[in-house]
Structure 1
Amino acid sequence: MPSTGSDQGGTQLSPAARERLEGELARLREQRAVNAPNFRDEDPIGDSADQADVIERAETTAWIDRRIREVTDLLTHGKSQTSPSKEGLLPDGTEVTLRFADGDEETMRVVEFADEATAPDASALTSDSPLGRALVGHKTGDTITYRTPGGDLSAEIVALKLPA
């Protein structure tokens, strides 16, 4: 697949990040083709479950379209020009250790893209994820709550180290 952007424009993306984004873009386009509702083909006399399915597919398609635009923009212009404002988010390189309700502890490092984590002993955490956002404004010893697909979870901040 040809590159959507070029390094001439100063995209500042690592080869691994560019490859990941190009793969994500291809998957998003495939998902869009499968999920996009075709209102001409929909049965106008369906039950409310059919209508709910069409609405859900339309919402999913709208999300996919937004993400396709974001990824295309990243590939074209790079993260320094197109990333949403990082103001109010943890900076890349922040390291946090959390203790979860079951007593397990996990160390995570904030990264721009989840697959760019470099520390073998730390999981990747993006600053704009629900967990990343929940950490903003908190310090060691605080308990945070964040939303997951399975419901709200809580964790205690054992350590929080901003990058030097």
Structure 2
Amino acid sequence: MSGGPEPISAEGLRAVREELAQLRVERGEVAATLRGVDPVGDRADAADELQRASEVARLDRRIVELEARLREAEVAGEPSARVVGVGSTVNVRFDDGTEETVEISEIAEERDLTLVTFDSPLGKALLGRHAGETVNYDTPAGAASAVVLSVGADAGPQTG
């Protein structure tokens, strides 16, 4: 990403909030199993306690990451209507002439084939581009290119 505050798509925002809620529940459940200052039994008990404490720490780190991402998205506001960034809707024409409207996202959702992650080959090629520019990227089948037809509110199926 750009290193500055990045906007986030509505779908990405929903996914981050959902993951954050799930992690908070999971953290509460794992933390409730920690014994605290009570003496630990045998070595297996100590190892289990250490593993749960490590899991709580991992969950805490991810929660902090997601909370920071939500704050960053709020500061960044809406994606640009001129330059492709995370959260942008982009209409592209591929080498074979097909046109597709995609959304640049932080997350991959199996159910939504129009999401392109910012770190995918196409996503990386599109970031920072404007309408009219041609991008080149690699696919499993080899090199490919696409033309950015429109960005933002103007993106959508093109007629004509």
TM-score (norm 2): 0.46
If asked which structure has higher relative contact order (CA below 8 Å, sep 6+), I would say: 2
Larger radius of gyration: 2
TM-score (norm 1): 0.45
